[in-house]
Structure 1
């Protein structure tokens, strides 16, 4: 995206707003119930933080959970902004009863650069989310999926909604739920 002079922070803002708009449009009926935002260590986690802030402004009750806190400098502005917006930070998830109080889960754990089997603590949170009946919205690709092959090993999430960013990734052809494309800010020629 450097061709178009977008900074990573700007891209996260555009992506997070797109995701928040999909959630606001499709899940308005759960706005009064806490919403779990699971933020991973990379850019998808940053997108999730931005979405959490916008969802708070839209009247939702987001709670951010970091399975493994990161010192990623890209997170600092988004983390600060979510705290300023009074977004709650959930401290611990260990069993399915912890998830039962949420009306929706926003999956921002892994993105398109994910490779190999999930490692601790992400393996446990993916298992917990996969076993839950709470609806899941995944950002860009479902966490645990290979960007090209999807989830051939069955270790990834199978969300109800996928919000592809900029353009669908190859794995989206294996996705069975509602699919949206957000963050379309580059010319069609790209």
Structure 2
């Protein structure tokens, strides 16, 4: 079958842009300042989208142990609060999250998310289980919400340095939120943990370009003007989904 030579060539699809730490921070600042998003609103959007992506990657029916138990390890900054929101939504989706949050933030916003989890009867651990306990104590999955893109990966202090050592040893799957803990957001790392699943937020960070596992993009809310300004070339999300597998 001959095609006429004057048919227009299909537009080339631009690849998704992987953000530097500086660009990710600039986008968040614009959302808060110019677009009047609230910090609590952004954390809620991201945490909810993470929970939906995790439910897709690890459906209830696939979890082998008797209960669909999930250990959510939360750090002291915004990434930890996204983990708290994620845990609350997983509880609503009938998973059984437990939270380890060793250094609670003094910020009232983060405290609000903590109270919301407590009111959902989500247990908080006072210590991180050992590798043996993590494997034998019926956790199906660990969610890494420890260190986000804002953290200097060269300055990981206790208790987080010890937590990362433990998480590097375990065999159960790990899902990291936005940036795997111990990685530099701007470059792939060999120092941090090696999650099975990465859920990038807003747009993927540069370090995710070489991520070998299952990679989701979550948080479908960015105003079109910001997408255009930063040339994000975000993929078409299917239907009404708030996440997509990259």
Answer whether TM exceeds 0.5 for this pair: yes
In structure 2, the residue matched to 1:163 is: 199
- Where structure 2 has 5 or more consecutive residues not aligned to the other structure, the ranges are 1-30, 227-246
After alignment, is 31-40 or 12-21 more displaced? Answer: 31-40
Q: Secondary structure at the match of 2:108?
A: coil
Counterparts of 1:4 and 1:54, CA distance in 2: 26
C-alpha deviation, 1:170, in angstroms: 0.8
Cα deviations by residue, 1:18-44 (Å, 9 ceiling, x for unpaired): 110011111122282321000000100
**Please, what TM-score do these two structures have when normalized by structure 1?**
0.94
Aligned-pair RMSD on alpha carbons?
A: 1.4
4+ runs of 1 displaced by more than 3 Å? none
Residue 15 (structure 1) aligned with residue 46 (structure 2): yes
In structure 2, the residue matched to 1:182 is: 218
Counterparts of 1:119 and 1:98, CA distance in 2: 23
Counterparts of 1:8 and 1:129, CA distance in 2: 29
- Where structure 1 has 5 or more consecutive residues not aligned to the other structure, the ranges are none
**Please, what TM-score do these two structures have when normalized by structure 2?**
0.73
Q: Secondary structure at the match of 1:62?
A: strand
Equivalent runs, 1:47-126 vs 2, <5 Å: 47-100=82-135, 101=137, 102-115=139-152, 116-126=154-164
In structure 2, the residue matched to 1:44 is: 79
In structure 1, the residue matched to 2:169 is: 131
Counterparts of 2:204 and 2:95, CA distance in 1: 27
